[in-house]
Amino acid sequence: MNAKTLYNEIKQRLQDMQVHDPAYEARCLLEDILSIKWMDIIAGSNVDVSNEALRKCDVILDERATGKPLTRILGVREFWGLNFTLNDDTLDPRPETEILVEKALSFITEAGLLAPNILDLGTGTGCIPITLLHEKKSARATAVDLSEKALEAAMHNAKYHGVDDRLTCVQSNWCDNVQGQFDVLVSNPPYIDTSDITNLSREVKNHDPILALDGGENGVAPYEIIFSQIKNVLKPAGRAFLEIGQGQCGYIQGIAEKYRIRILNIYPDYAGIPRVVEISCGDK
């Protein structure tokens, strides 16, 4: 069997499972079992598939049929065109988080920050700070997480992408153990309402760590903590970019008012849902 034929068979099996994006997952699975890039598969007129690769494919698809996300099976997720290794203590990065990275990069460029110092709270895989370091070669970043295993994943990913010499990992409950002040603060904190956890898809609630999902009542408990600490860690001229959940704008604006934090912009995601808030810690 050749790779193109197998791709169509994989895609059909994934469609039968009613996965969200069978074409994308079929591509990722094929790249993994053949250890070659999709463009090489497309370019090759007849890339043959070994029996061993076929057996591996069947095992992965059987596991996928149980509801386990393909990224968890393969142990890696693509983000900003870069691969990030996952473990049980890391959130599976979402495409929407790339908007946060995009807005942070725009600020760094527009502000003329030649060597920005970046703080990421709740780093997980480290996808946000590592991507920023990948794009800004003179930047440095501190990655914070409560989970030691998550920090291990972040440092592994930093080494893989060659930015570990510019990334510092700190085990901390938000800013409790963070020292110094930063030009840019970024965070994708847990923002699912505790009462909504049981309603999440089985791919999320059974495989993403609860610590990275549960945001307490209304999903905004982490923002209360971050906003209460932000003036200690963000420079007066600095900016923070926080990902938020659907329907949380009103709550976030209320917390900002409470701590005299200025919301400068709210950016939508690809579906038009408010997803990233840009804030300044300058006095109102």
Last-in-domain residue among 43, 72, 101: 72
Q: Nearest to residue 108, comparing CAs of 79, 137, 69, 74? A: 137
Instruction: Using the 3D structure, point to which of 72, 102, 117 is the last residue of a domain.
Output: 72
Q: Answer yes or no: is pLDDT of 42 > 90.
A: no
pLDDT at position 45 is 58
Residues 63 and 89 in one domain: no
Do both 198 and 117 map to the same domain? yes
Shortest CA distance to 170 belongs to which of 158, 180, 178? Answer: 178
Are 125 and 164 members of one domain? yes
Buried b (16+ CB within 10 A) or exposed e, 46-63: ebebeeebeebbeebbee
pLDDT of 40 reads 84
Question: What are the residues whose beta carbons fall under 8 Å from the beta carbon of 187, sequence distance 6 or more?
Answer: 120, 121, 122, 226, 240, 241, 242, 243
pLDDT of 271 > 70? The answer is: yes
Provide the domain limits for residue 55: 3-72
Q: Are residues 90 and 206 in the same domain?
A: yes
The model carries a pTM of: 0.95
Domain co-membership, 66 together with 95: no
Pairing of strands 140-145, 167-171: parallel
Would you state the pLDDT for residue 41?
82
Mean per-residue pLDDT, 12-40: 94
User: Residues 49-79: pLDDT tens digits?
Assistant: 999 999 999 999 999 999 999 999 999 999 9
Same domain, 108 and 213: yes
Do 154 and 215 share a structural domain? Answer: yes
* pLDDT tens digit sequence for 219-251: 999 999 999 999 999 999 999 999 999 999 999
Separation of alpha carbons 105 and 151, rounded Å: 23
Closest CA to 108 of 82, 127, 85, 134: 134
Domain tally for the chain? Answer: 2
Domain finish residue from 72, 94, 116 = 72
CATH number at residue 67: 1.10.8.10
Position 46 scores a pLDDT of 75
User: Residues 16, 144: one domain?
Assistant: no
Q: How far apart are CA 241 and CA 168, in angstroms?
A: 19
172 and 92 in a single domain? The answer is yes
Residue 48 DSSP class = B
Q: Is the pLDDT of residue 186 over 90?
A: yes
* Structure token pair of residue 113: 């920050």
> Given pLDDT bands bounded at 50, 70 and 90, which one contains residue 283?
low
Which helix (H) or strand (E) covers residue 16, if one does? helix 3-16
Mean pLDDT, residues 261-284 taken together: 92
* DSSP type of residue 246: T
What is the 3-class SS of 81-118, one letter each residue? CEEEECCCCCCCCCCCHHHHHHHHHHHHHHCCCCCCEE
Mean pLDDT of 199-222: 96
Q: Are residues 114 and 246 in the same domain?
A: yes
Question: Looking up tokens 């790779």, which residue turns up?
Answer: 3
116-152 pLDDT, tens per residue? Answer: 999 999 999 999 999 999 999 999 999 999 999 999 9
How far is it, in rounded angstroms, from Cα 121 to Cα 146? 9
Are residues 58 and 190 both part of a single domain?
no
What CATH number is attached to the domain comprising 192? 3.40.50.150
Residues 89, 21 share a domain: no
Residues, the chain: 284
